[in-house]
Amino acid sequence: MSIKDDLQAELKAAMKARDRRRLDVIRQIETEVSRHATAPGFKGEIDDDLYQTVIVGYVKKMEKAKREYDQMGERGRDMADKLAFEIEYLERWLPTMRSEEETRRLVDEAIAELGVDDPKQAGRVIGHLMKTYGDLDGATVGRLVRERLQ
């Protein structure tokens, strides 16, 4: 079953259950997918790859926002809880990422392969890794490359 079909089934179930939180997050993802699909220069299909791209981006934004609400203490608690629910709910459609240990090994291999030893060339290593492997967390890759090249 595709992610779109999954979300449609979830939307119907959420409507029957009058589950406002699930309705909100599903509708937001559908809005984001529509926004991506109608953006100038979009070429492709509305498929699982697009849905995963949208969900990954949305979850990253919500994680950042949640951290900010957490810092607000009691004033931000309700919103942080809402975002935590959304993040947890969407995790089932996120691609499985490589572990930090495996990412570290790939970073070391890429640095050796490219012969890079200058911190100013970190972007070259990061770009190489992100193009070669689709299941790496960009923030982790960036941090590990910069640590290694210092």
Q: Which range among 10-19, 92-101, 103-112 shows the weakest confidence by mean pLDDT?
A: 92-101
How many whole angstroms separate alpha carbon 113 and alpha carbon 128? 10
How many whole angstroms separate alpha carbon 71 and alpha carbon 31? 28
Q: Which of 83, 51, 87, 52 is nearest to 70 (CA)?
A: 83
What are the distances in angstroms from CA 59 to CA 17, 39, 123, 147? 24, 20, 24, 26
What are the distances in angstroms from CA 104 to CA 113, 135, 142? 14, 13, 11
Q: Which two tokens stand for residue 21?
A: 């939180």
Q: Phi and psi at residue 65, in whole multiples of 5°?
A: -65, -40
| Domains (range + CATH), the chain | 3-93 (1.10.1510.10), 100-149 (1.10.10.410)
Q: Which helix (H) or strand (E) holds 21?
A: helix 20-37
Q: Render pLDDT for 115-140 as a digit per residue (tens, 0 to 9).
A: 999 889 999 999 999 988 878 888 89
Q: Is residue 97 very low, low, confident or very high in pLDDT (cuts 50, 70, 90)?
A: confident
Task: Check pLDDT > 80 for residue 114.
Answer: yes
Radius of gyration for the alpha carbons in the chain, expressed in angstroms and rounded: 19
Task: Check pLDDT > 90 for residue 31.
Answer: yes
Q: Is residue 25 very low, low, confident or very high in pLDDT (cuts 50, 70, 90)?
A: very high
- The amino acid at residue 133 is Y
